[in-house]
Amino acid sequence: MAGERIKLVVKPRETSGTRDARRLRRDGFVPGVLYGSGHPRPFFVEERDLRRALTGGHGLHAILDVVLDGQSKEHHAVLKEYQLDPVRSSLVHVDLHEVRLDRPIQAQIAIDVVGESESPGVSKGGVVQIALRELNVEALPMEMPDRVAVDVSLLDLGDIVRVSDIAQPENATILDDPDATVATVAVPRVLAVEEVVEEVEGEEAVEAPEELAAAEEPNTSAEQAPEES
C-alpha cells in the first residue's frame, strides 16, 4: 500500500523558459510544477532529493508532503508525470498533483505476473504473453496499492486471465474493462503446425480404406449390350 509519506522541500521558481531550465539542470536541480488548488506553482528541487523520494519503498506512488522553501504549509501531492534525459537517464522535469488525503484518486499500478515456470501450458511448450501491464485503480491516496500480482501457475495452453479474474485490491477499485485480457498461454507456431499436420494425417488414414473400396467396386453405371439371339 502507498501508505508512505515523504517530505520534499522545494524552492519556488521565479523565472521560466528553456534557458532557465537548462541552467537549473546544469547545477543539479530539476524544474517542476505543482498543480492543484489555485494556480500552478513552478519550483525546482535537488535531483538527489527527488530521486530519494521517488525510489523508496512505494516508489512512484508515494505521497509527497511538498513544502515550499520558507513556508510551513505542506501540500500533499502525488507524481503526475516526469521526463528523463534520453541519454543520461537523469530527471529533467517533474509534474506533481496536489491531492486531498480524504478523497479518492485514480492511478495506474503495475501488474506482476508470477508462476510462469509452474504453468502446465509452459511445460508443454507454450509461452506466457502479457497483454496488460498496468491497471487503472481508484483509491484513497494513502490506500493506493503499489502493484497487483497475477498468478498464471495454473494456466494451460490457450487459457486466459482477464481483468475480472483479478481479486479487487483491498480498499481499491479496478476501473478497467472486466473482459480485457491480462495474460494468456499462447501455443507456439511450430506446435500449432504440428497439431494441424497430425490432424490431417489422421483424416487421410481414415479416408484411405473408403477410397480403395470405391476403386475396387465394378462400374455398374454403363448399360450392358443386349445378347444376340
- 124 has pLDDT over 80: yes
Is residue 61 within 8 A of residue 141, CB to CB? The reply is no
**Measured between alpha carbons, how far is 4 from 64 in angstroms, rounded to an integer?**
8
* Pairing status of strand 105-114 against strand 160-162: unpaired
pLDDT band for position 223 (cuts 50, 70, 90): very low
| Mean pLDDT of the region 73-89 | 90
Round the CA-based radius of gyration of the chain to a whole number and report it: 32
pLDDT at 156: 96
Does this model's pTM top 0.75? My answer is no
- 4 has pLDDT over 90: no
E runs forming strands in the chain: 5-12, 29-35, 41-46, 63-68, 75-84, 91-98, 105-114, 127-130, 134-139, 147-151, 160-162, 172-174, 181-186
3-state SS assignment for residue 203: helix
| Mean pLDDT of the region 166-193 | 87
> What H or E segment, with its residue span, contains residue 208?
helix 189-216
| Mean pLDDT of the region 15-44 | 89
Tens digits of per-residue pLDDT, 155-175? 999 999 999 999 999 999 999
Grid cell listed for 209: 480404406
Domains (ranges, CATH) in the chain? 5-98 (2.40.240.10), 105-186 (2.170.120.20)
* Pairing status of strand 91-98 against strand 29-35: parallel
